[in-house]
Amino acid sequence: MLPRILLCAVVSFFTLPSFIMAQTTPSKKTGRSLTAKQIHNSSLVIDTHADTTQRLLDEDFDLANPPAGDQGNLDFAKAKAGNLGAEFFSIWVEPKEFKGQYAHRTLDLIDAVYQQAAKHPDKMMMVFSPVGIDLAHREHRLAALLGIEGGHSIENDIRLLRDYYHMGVRYMTLTWSNTNEWADSSGDITDTSIQHHNGLTEFGKDVVYEMNRLGMMVDISHVSDKTFYDTLLASRAPVIASHSSSRVLTNHPRNMTDDMLRAVARGGGVVMVNYYSAFVDENWRKAYDAQAKERTAATDAVAEKYKDADPVTRYRETDKVAKEWAAKIPRPPFEDIIDHIDHVAKVAGIDHVGLGSDFDGTPSMPEGMDSAADLPKITEGLLKRGYTAAQIRKILGGNLMRVFRQVEQVSKKLRAEQKQQRPSLARQMSSSK
Ligand SMILES: [Zn+2]
């Protein structure tokens, strides 16, 4: 008789229902060790950050029909090859190009994800909860979720935040690289021309409360260190870092210090490791920094050339130049990604680490990480370092599922409290600042 795990691997090469996963016999019981492929293909794999959404909207990119030789990080075939079960599609609004149109652009991006799901109902399913992820996974469809990257999308209006929740948005990164009117970002914290707030403002705390009440995960990737600590104090639910790596290993302000990693863990949250070369390899980061002046001059020149073009064209052209400059630096080794996952697992704990690729959002990733099809290499790398199948499953998706469920529980509690106390609406709409 086939050992159960082998049977599982045969039955489904792509995804397995979680109820079967839960019964998967660990190697100790069967007396045989599982291969990386068996572990990976019988796990629920969740990635919390892909910028593919812009391609869907601006390039009319179709996940089922990528152009020949497409260099993108994500499509259905690549997701299937990498056994990717759930993807959070990033809803990111470039703050300069779309000034005055933040909500409009946010809605367009959300619509682009829904359009893909409507076009390919056999391959993709919009989901809004851990239960939904499980359901899509059982049906071998990619679970598609929405995460807003940058609080400027709510245009300082908590009613918009609620609207986005009702449309299915399940996390919001409080800031992108730009400080908004209620939270400081790590991206411009040293820029004295920007008006900063020393972290999170009172309105920012109201935003966090409302996210907790709604059941939207609070994402601290991109925020300044002070905003990070203010958010941990304000949030009643565990927080996530949807795409952040370790600052001790790679000294980038977008990465998290060990103290921050431990603080997320204390609150029960999870840090999803980003694969961008500048966040996972110190030498690469330095080389990229060293070319900053020339690169900026080159992208500025292109921006000038396209100054009368529409924002989408202008962004696409400058992005192309930025990628050409990044390509001048040799890609770092794949092991960098494993180093960061390993570090977060050791410092924060095995229950507090996950995957936040930043697919289609970076100009460079380590050698061997070309797309979602390469995700099994992460399992391979972790297995080689002595991680058990159970630990690997936590990293691949289990930890995010736990936090997502906890966020739902906190929401339930806060909604019940609100019903009992019937507070005035003042708290939620208290200020526009
Ligand atoms: Zn980002």
What would the pLDDT profile of 388-409 be if each residue is shown by its tens digit? 999 999 999 999 999 999 999 9
173: CA distance to ligand 1 center in Å?
9
* DSSP summary character for residue 142: E
Q: Name the percent of the chain lying above pLDDT 70.
A: 90
51: CA distance to ligand 1 center in Å?
8
Name the more confident of 3 and 250: 250
358: CA distance to ligand 1 center in Å?
7
- pLDDT bucket at 241, cuts 50 / 70 / 90: very high
* Token reading at 195: 């008006």
360: CA distance to ligand 1 center in Å?
11
**To the nearest whole number, what is the mean pLDDT of the chain?**
91
199: CA distance to ligand 1 center in Å?
19
Is pTM, for the whole model, over 0.85? yes
- The pLDDT of residue 432 is above 60: no
8: CA distance to ligand 1 center in Å?
36
What pLDDT is attached to residue 28? 53
252: CA distance to ligand 1 center in Å?
13
337: CA distance to ligand 1 center in Å?
17
DSSP 3-state of 100: coil
* Token reading at 194: 């920007």
> What would the pLDDT profile of 257-285 be if each residue is shown by its tens digit?
999 999 999 999 999 999 999 999 999 99
255: CA distance to ligand 1 center in Å?
11
The whole-angstrom separation of Cα 239 and Cα 228 is: 10
85: CA distance to ligand 1 center in Å?
21
Q: Is-contact 144 121, C-beta < 8 A?
A: no
Q: Is-contact 371 316, C-beta < 8 A?
A: no
344: CA distance to ligand 1 center in Å?
19
Q: Write down the residue that tokens 């403002």 correspond to.
A: 201
> What would the pLDDT profile of 35-89 be if each residue is shown by its tens digit?
999 999 999 999 999 999 999 999 999 999 999 999 999 999 999 999 999 999 9
Once rounded to an integer, what is the mean pLDDT over residues 18-45?
68
> What would the pLDDT profile of 182-228 be if each residue is shown by its tens digit?
999 999 999 999 999 999 999 999 999 999 999 999 999 999 999 99
Q: Which residues contact 55 (CB under 8 A, 6 or more apart)?
A: 61, 72, 360
> What would the pLDDT profile of 376-387 be if each residue is shown by its tens digit?
999 999 999 999
Least confident span in 7-11, 313-317, 346-350, 422-426? 7-11
177: CA distance to ligand 1 center in Å?
8
Question: Left if phi > 0, otherwise alpha if psi is -120 to 50, otherwise beta: which for 412?
Answer: alpha
148: CA distance to ligand 1 center in Å?
10
What pLDDT is attached to residue 30? 56
Which segments of 120-196 does DSSP mark as H helices, in order? Answer: 130-138, 158-166
Once rounded to an integer, what is the mean pLDDT over residues 298-310?
91
The whole-angstrom separation of Cα 34 and Cα 382 is: 13
By residue count, the chain amounts to 433
277: CA distance to ligand 1 center in Å?
13
241: CA distance to ligand 1 center in Å?
10
Once rounded to an integer, what is the mean pLDDT over residues 366-375?
98
Q: Is-contact 15 83, C-beta < 8 A?
A: yes
What pLDDT is attached to residue 313? 85
Name the more confident of 26 and 65: 65
222: CA distance to ligand 1 center in Å?
7
381: CA distance to ligand 1 center in Å?
25
What pLDDT is attached to residue 422? 56
- How is the chain split among helix, strand and coil, in percent rounded to 5? 50, 10, 40
The whole-angstrom separation of Cα 431 and Cα 201 is: 11
